[in-house]
Structure 1
Amino acid sequence: GTDASVFAVEAVPAIAFNEKDIKGYNFNYGEIWHTERDTYSKSIPEYQEHAATVIAIVTLGVANLDHLLSREGLYK
């Protein structure tokens, strides 16, 4: 699951993004995810900037829709 999944199962709107190591840093977040090694020092600034931009654009786009996103079938 993801951090978003605990919200989604309780019908709280949530969104999750998948990330890949497209720049070849040879980094797999799954190896440290939610462990004592999951520290800010392991973050890759370029990826943090990209993630922040993507999240901001998606959030703005969804917030400005003229309708709510359908939740049909999400919570079964």
Structure 2
Amino acid sequence: MTDQNEILERLGEDELFEIAEYGIQVRIDLRLEGTVNDDPQFLYDALVAIEDMNAEQLKACIRENSSKYQQEK
């Protein structure tokens, strides 16, 4: 089975950006639904921050948000 790191290595920067953006958005959605009770502003800020990230930073962002989503859902 292919692990997350192998998959991320195969993707281009545009694809990584889209995945990072989606990962942040689903965490925002958890807050808007009331599943997680805190202010999502830091996640809105993260959406802005990923616009300036390179591929390695996007991969790290994806890993972090994936892990945090698993804890929060």
Higher helix share: 2
TM-score by length of 1: 0.32
TM-score by length of 2: 0.33
